[in-house]
């Protein structure tokens, strides 16, 4: 199962990269065309906007998989293993409920968007809402897999805290350890 998720993640990363390149090319071409020739490509704004929406939503799915969303783990880390499991279950169930609501709303917007079109490209507005639908389903799948792994006993202690520190925070701590003074001289209390 992990190998399948890794392949899907690699595919999503390539799609995100392609969307980013597409956005840069479209926006640069449009800006350069307007500046140099007094005219731009009318469809570039609509396509770049759609690419941006999909890039953001797909990136959010990757952040869930890599556990890089913002979170506070100060309390959960100090709890015993049993309470950490309980917190994980409660949090994941609340998240699944929120994703269910998000999926319902996205589906309703997809239905509404089928009858509406962008003015220049004639692309259905449902393509915007579909990003939310795909994201909510993908995130829900990741959280359900985490719950199944927890109940099957296949989750390590480190995974019970669903927030992972970024490399930047670890690099800062390493820098502080390396360059911190060995000992601070005691303060004499006398003014300087």
| Highest mean pLDDT of the ranges 29-33, 158-162, 181-185 | 29-33
The strand pairing partners of 124, in sequence order, are 117
Per-residue model confidence as pLDDT tens digits over 87-119: 889 999 999 999 999 999 999 999 998 889 988
Residue listed under structure tokens 């820098």: 175
For residue 188, CA distances in Å to 180, 183, 192 come to 21, 15, 10
The DSSP-derived string for 125-167 is: THHHHHHHHHHHHHHHHHHHHHHHHHHTT---TGGGS-----H
Highest mean pLDDT (candidates 1-5, 83-87, 138-142, 184-188) = 138-142
* Tokens matching residue 170: 């670890």
* CA dihedral of residues 124, 129, 131, 136 (deg, nearest 10): -150
Between 189 and 86, name the one with better pLDDT.
86
Give dist(CA 111, CA 129) in Å, integer: 9
At 35, is the pLDDT very low, low, confident or very high (cuts 50, 70, 90)?
Answer: confident
Which two structure tokens, joined as six digits, stand for 179? 């360059």
pTM, two decimal places: 0.77
Lowest mean pLDDT of 1-5, 128-132, 158-162, name the range.
158-162
Predicted confidence band at 169 (pLDDT cuts at 50, 70, 90)?
low
List all residues 6 or more positions away from 79 whose beta carbon is below 8 Å from its beta carbon: 87
User: Residues 59-83: what's their mean pLDDT?
Assistant: 83
Q: Taking a C-beta distance cutoff of 8 angstroms, is the pair 137, 60 a contact?
A: no
Q: How confident is the model at residue 168 (pLDDT cuts 50, 70, 90)?
A: low
């Amino acid at each position: 199962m992990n190998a399948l998720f890794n392949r899907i993640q690699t595919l999503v990363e390539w799609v995100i990269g392609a969307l980013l390149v597409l956005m840069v090319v479209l926006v640069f071409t449009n800006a350069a065309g307007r500046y140099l020739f007094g005219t731009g490509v009318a469809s570039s704004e609509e396509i770049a906007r759609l690419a941006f929406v999909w890039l953001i939503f797909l990136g959010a799915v990757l952040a869930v998989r890599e556990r890089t969303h913002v979170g506070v783990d100060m309390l959960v880390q100090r709890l015993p293993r049993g309470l950490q499991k309980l917190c994980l279950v409660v949090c994941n169930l609340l998240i699944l409920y929120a994703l269910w609501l998000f999926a319902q709303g996205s589906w309703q917007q997809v239905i509404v968007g089928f009858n509406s079109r962008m003015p220049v490209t004639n692309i259905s507005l449902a393509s915007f809402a579909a990003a939310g639908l795909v994201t909510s389903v993908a995130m829900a799948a990741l959280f359900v897999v985490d719950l199944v792994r927890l109940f099957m006993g296949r989750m390590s202690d480190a995974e019970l805290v669903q927030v992972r520190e970024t490399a930047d925070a670890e690099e800062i701590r390493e820098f502080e350890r390396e360059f911190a003074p060995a000992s601070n001289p005691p303060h004499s209390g006398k003014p300087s």
